[in-house]
Amino acid sequence: MIIKAKVTDRIATAVLYIIATLLILLLILFAGYIIYQGKSKLNLSFLTSEPNSLEAGGGIGPPLFNSIYIVVLSLAITLPIGLSAGIYMAEYAKPTKLTKLIRFSIEALASLPSIVIGLFGFLVFVQKTGWGFNIFSGALAVSILNLPVVTRICEDSIRNVPHSVKEASLAIGATHWQTIIRVLIPCAIPGLVTGLIITSGRVFGEAAALIFTSGVSGYPLDFTNFNPMDSSSPLNPFRPAETLAVFIWKVNSEGTAPDARLVADGASAVLIISVFLFNISSRILGKFLNNKFAGR
């Protein structure tokens, strides 16, 4: 029986290693192929120049900036709401029917396809408000998309703080709110930062929700104009703007430039590399913060 158990254990271990290896190879082949196809466009000029729909040599400067801008705006909207909801669910919510309803709503919202969120954003943020296609509408749409994820990240990060830390704070006379603000949240920062960076990578690569809200075209941008009320300013949140992922879809579907295929490949390579950087930086920063707070 002991020999049989050892053989079974070795077979199961080998199967798991094979599955893990296949997953790693699949990721390498997928990402490697895309980066290889677009490697000729990976230069500073391509990253900073304007797109050109008629002539060869266009770049991805504005779409790349728009993607970063939407990430910043969506985090500014999502983080306060998600953190507040996470604190409530972790520290104040009791096991009642209301709490169950809130959890069900969070899970249902998290399972909605992004295109459904995009259609909702189109009806509410684009049409009902009269704003039209703009960056702010896109940021609101992806904020709805990521709000359940951020809420769960914040809740789990706070719950993972050792209970003894909370008890020690309360024991020296701190109130519950003071304990949350000065003890639990600082201790939860490594998990919060890691989760938020990964969420940012998801926003950066989002396309379906943004096609219906931020639009598939934009004004020429003047990067020397920092007036957020000017339509040519890159900081204006109420201008239509295509993000990098939307730009890739647009070039692939209706690109007319002679090098449209190369531009799409280059933009896809930049998108893949950017998402990898988000994930790698989340691990590096999370490990750094864990070591820093563990040594305090």
What's the pLDDT at 296?
A: 52
pLDDT band at 276 (very low <50, low <70, confident <90, very high): confident
> Between 237 and 224, where is the model more confident?
237
Distance CA(189)–CA(86), nearest Å, equals 13
Residue 184 lies in a domain: yes
pLDDT of residue 162: 86
The answer to the question of residue 32 being in a domain is no
pTM to 2 decimals?
0.87
Please count the structural domains in the chain: 1
The CATH number for 173's domain is: 1.10.3720.10
Residue 13 within a domain: no
- Of the pLDDT bands very low, low, confident and very high (cuts 50, 70, 90), residue 7 is confident
Q: Could you give the residue ranges of the DSSP H alpha helices within 172-221?
A: 176-179, 185-204, 208-211
CA 114, chain centre distance (Å): 13
Please count the other Cβ atoms lying within 10 Å of the Cβ belonging to residue 192: 24
Is residue 22 situated within a structural domain? no
Q: What is the pLDDT of residue 295?
A: 52
The tens digit of pLDDT for each residue in 68-117 reads: 999 999 999 999 999 999 999 888 888 888 888 888 888 888 888 888 99
Average pLDDT over residues 5-16: 83
Domain encompassing residue 144: 42-294
Residue 34 domain flag? no
CA distances from 162 to 45, 166, 183, 229, 289 (A): 49, 7, 11, 47, 16
Per-residue pLDDT, 3: 67
